[in-house]
């Protein structure tokens, strides 16, 4: 999370006194709306772009190709159109850009105003989209939604990690991801319903219903209080302490407040976080964080999340069946994320990632073989049995992603960066993720047109590469306290240990020494539950 303050964890393993107050409950609802909003935007575009009325109005060229059928155009190329892809991808490009501004407002204005800015962007974006008269208005709406995503994904997880008591903080990381998947499913369900509306305005309802999580986020931001961490970071110490008392539901907040002051002091001492990030001893975490983001997107997941209905219709499913199948994959995504929440601290990160690697590789190869045999450029004879098999294989693939790369792609970077680079490291993580999300959104339909069924071989090759990366280069971080990563993980790793030998860097040492003073690693850790 860029430029953010530092959330506190219990000093010396002692729990601070804290009740689950109404403010904390509202915070959890905020997590839900921030994640839901993002997920809704991810999920809604695919269904909308497969609706004939939407295509007729904004992309008549594509509409004509789809209507003409496979006689004139290749099955695989029906939807290949840069403008159509831009409708989906522009959101991520805007989100990427907005992250830089959001990093600044989160630090200087606070978390709450940043969430409000996000809410306002979302609301205007939704209005423009639902009322769109032409392509320009439609894309402008998507860009504003993207700005909302940039601001919300920056501020909401940080806000949560700072406001929640330590004991429920860890779970919020995957909870955010769970809400993203629920948002996607919700969008798929809405699309399934609105596609049946006669009169050609169903797509407006689909895009307009994003207003529900957008409004909730805005109202939520108005209701909640600023975090004590942010107030302290901006020198408003008395206010910070008063807020801490209020949210913890007790007057006994001195130990936590002292911890918070120390964390803020240390955060200010890190003068050049981005330069720090590039130092040799921080290389393992940086390489892993960047690689995980690239790999997460190269699994091909968003080809499915963004374009499932279009993909199913490309394969010859009727419009209704295509949307219905997208609902099924969306539901599998939600349920499998629950599996991850349950098992990540039991079986560990590596087991989940490696098992999922095998499962994703297998299902993608099977899909490629079925399509290679059954769907050619100008004919598709996918019988009912094969069509069901394709859907089952896509679900097998989505399930594997949802209990591995989906949540862990975010969790692992957030728990491996040391204090000195955590905030800058999280910024880089978000940016690389959104950049590759943008690339997949912009390129998938063209790639489908050129690679045909081979697109699944392309993604499965990536799955092979990333599985080898996990096997050899990703250490297990299950149950390892964040401040002990250097000693217990990096220094013991066959490859990464070589980066741990120089200790003459200038600012904060990886061991937790700050300018010669031993810092309390535990009490000053930026919370691992901060997702973005």
Binding site for ligand BGC (CB under 6 A): 42, 177, 180-181, 184, 296, 301-302, 305, 333, 406, 409, 433, 437
E strands along 401-521, which residues?
513-514, 517-518
Distances (CA, A) of 454 to 134, 246, 376, 377, 448: 35, 58, 12, 13, 8
Q: Which is nearer to ligand BGC, 303 or 375 (CB)?
A: 303
**Polymer length of the chain:** 532
* Structure letter (DSSP) for residue 246: H
What SS3 class is residue 504? coil
Q: By three-state DSSP, how is residue 508 classified? A: strand
Which one, 353 or 500, has the nearer CB to ligand BGC? Answer: 353
Residue 224 or 455 with smaller CB distance to ligand BGC: 455
User: Which residue carries 């989505």 as its tokens?
Assistant: 398
Beta bridge partners of 7: none
Q: Residue 410 in contact with residue 345, Cβ under 8 Å? A: no
DSSP secondary structure of 376-396: -SS-B---HHHHHHHHHHHHH
Structure tokens, 142: 């998507």
Structure tokens at 340: 């991850």
- Kindly state the DSSP code that residue 513 receives in the 8-state scheme: E
Backbone torsions φ then ψ of 375, nearest 5 degrees: -115, 105
Q: Which two tokens stand for residue 162?
A: 């700072």
Least distance (Å) from ligand BGC to the CB of residue 486? 27
Residue 9 or residue 292: which is nearer to ligand BGC going by CB? 292
Shortest spacing between CB 409 and ligand BGC, in angstroms: 6
Q: Is 137 left (phi over 0), alpha (psi -120 to 50) or beta?
A: alpha
If the CB atoms of residues 302 and 314 are measured against ligand BGC, the closer one turns out to be 302
3-state helix, strand, coil in the chain (%, to 5): 75, 0, 25
Distance, C-alpha 230 to centroid of its chain: 23
- Min CB(240)–ligand BGC separation in Å: 33
Cα(201)–Cα(34) distance, integer angstroms: 27
Nearer to ligand BGC by Cβ, of 397 and 490: the residue is: 397
Q: Nearest approach, Cβ of 305 to ligand BGC (angstroms)? A: 4
d(CA 224, CA 27): 8
For the CB of residue 367, give the shortest distance to ligand BGC in the complex, in Å.
18
- Dist CA 192 CA 329 (whole Å): 13
- Contact between 299 and 466 under an 8 Å Cβ cutoff? The reply is yes
Q: What's the closest the beta carbon of residue 246 comes to ligand BGC, in angstroms? A: 33
Q: Which two tokens stand for residue 257?
A: 């407040």
Nearer to ligand BGC, 308 or 315 (CB): 308
Angle at 206 between CA 209 and CA 321, to 5 degrees: 140
* Strand-pair partners of 380: 375
- 182 vs 247, beta carbon nearer ligand BGC: 182
As measured in angstroms, the least distance from the Cβ of 276 to ligand BGC is 26
Longest dimension (CA), the chain: 75
CB of 406 to ligand BGC, least distance (A): 4
Q: Which is nearer to ligand BGC, 296 or 427 (CB)?
A: 296
Q: Which is nearer to ligand BGC, 9 or 393 (CB)?
A: 393
Q: How far is the CB of 461 from ligand BGC (least distance, A)?
A: 20
Shortest separation between residue 42's beta carbon and ligand BGC, angstroms: 5
Q: Which is nearer to ligand BGC, 95 or 240 (CB)?
A: 95
Q: Which is nearer to ligand BGC, 151 or 307 (CB)?
A: 307
| Residue 488 DSSP SS3 | helix
Instruction: Give backbone dihedrals phi and psi of 73, rounded to 5 degrees, phi first.
Output: -120, 155
**Residue 512 DSSP code:** S
Q: Which residue is nearest to ligand BGC (CB)?
A: 406
CB of 332 to ligand BGC, least distance (A): 10
| DSSP state, residue 518 | E
Q: Which residues sit opposite 375 in a β-bridge?
A: 380
For residue 180, the minimal CB distance to ligand BGC (Å) is 6
Residue with Cβ nearer ligand BGC (334 or 390): 334
- Residue 335 beta carbon to ligand BGC: minimum distance, rounded to whole angstroms: 12
């Amino acid at each position: 999370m860029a430029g953010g303050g530092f959330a506190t964890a219990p000093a010396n393993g002692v729990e601070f006194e804290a009740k689950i107050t109404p403010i904390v409950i509202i915070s959890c609802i905020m997590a839900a709306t921030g994640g839901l909003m993002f997920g809704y935007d991810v999920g809604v575009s695919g269904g909308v772009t497969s609706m004939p009325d939407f295509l007729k109005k904004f992309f008549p060229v594509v509409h004509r190709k789809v209507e003409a059928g496979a006689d004139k155009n290749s099955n695989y190329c029906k939807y290949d159109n840069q403008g159509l892809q831009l409708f989906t991808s522009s959101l991520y490009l805007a989100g990427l850009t907005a992250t830089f501004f959001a990093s600044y407002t989160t630090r200087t204005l606070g978390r709450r105003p940043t969430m409000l800015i996000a809410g306002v962007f979302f609301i205007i974006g939704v209005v423009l989209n639902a009322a769109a008269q032409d392509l320009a208005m439609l894309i402008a709406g998507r860009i504003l939604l993207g700005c909302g995503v940039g601001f919300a994904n920056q501020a909401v997880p940080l806000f949560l990690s700072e406001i929640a008591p330590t004991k429920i903080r860890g779970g919020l990381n995957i909870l955010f991801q769970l809400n993203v998947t629920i948002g996607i499913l919700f969008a798929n369900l809405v699309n399934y319903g609105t596609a049946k509306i006669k009169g050609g305005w169903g797509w407006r309802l689909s895009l307009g219903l994003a207003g529900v999580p957008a409004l909730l986020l805005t109202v939520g931001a108005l209701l909640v209080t600023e975090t004590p961490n942010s107030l302290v970071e901006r020198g408003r110490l008395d206010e910070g302490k008063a807020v801490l008392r209020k949210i913890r539901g007790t007057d006994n907040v001195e130990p936590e407040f002292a911890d918070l002051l120390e964390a803020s002091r240390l955060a200010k001492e890190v003068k050049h976080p981005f330069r720090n990030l590039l130092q040799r001893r921080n290389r393992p975490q940086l390489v892993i964080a960047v690689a995980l983001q690239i790999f997460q997107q190269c699994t091909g997941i968003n080809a499915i999340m963004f374009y499932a209905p279009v993909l199913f219709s490309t394969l010859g499913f009727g419009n209704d069946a295509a949307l219905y199948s997208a609902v099924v994959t969306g539901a599998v995504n939600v349920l499998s994320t629950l599996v991850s929440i349950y098992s990540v601290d039991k079986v560990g990160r590596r087991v989940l990632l490696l098992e999922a690697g095998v499962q994703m590789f297998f299902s993608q190869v099977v899909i490629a073989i079925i399509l290679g045999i059954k769907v050619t450029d100008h004919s598709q004879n996918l019988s009912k049995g094969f069509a069901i098999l394709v859907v089952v294989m896509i679900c097998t693939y989505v399930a594997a992603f949802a209990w591995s790369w989906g949540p862990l792609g975010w969790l692992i970077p957030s728990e491996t960066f040391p204090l000195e680079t955590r905030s800058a490291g999280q910024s880089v993580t978000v940016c690389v993720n959104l950049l590759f999300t943008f690339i997949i959104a912009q390129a998938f339909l063209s790639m489908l047109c050129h690679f045909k069924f081979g697109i699944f071989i392309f993604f499965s090759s990536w799955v092979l590469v990333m599985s080898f990366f996990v096997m050899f280069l990703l250490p297990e971080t299950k149950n390892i306290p964040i401040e002990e990563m250097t000693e217990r993980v990096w220094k013991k790793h066959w490859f990464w240990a070589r980066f741990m030998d120089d200790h003459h860097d200038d600012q904060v040492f990886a061991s937790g020494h700050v300018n010669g003073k031993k810092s309390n690693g535990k009490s000053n850790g930026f919370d691992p539950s901060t997702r973005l």
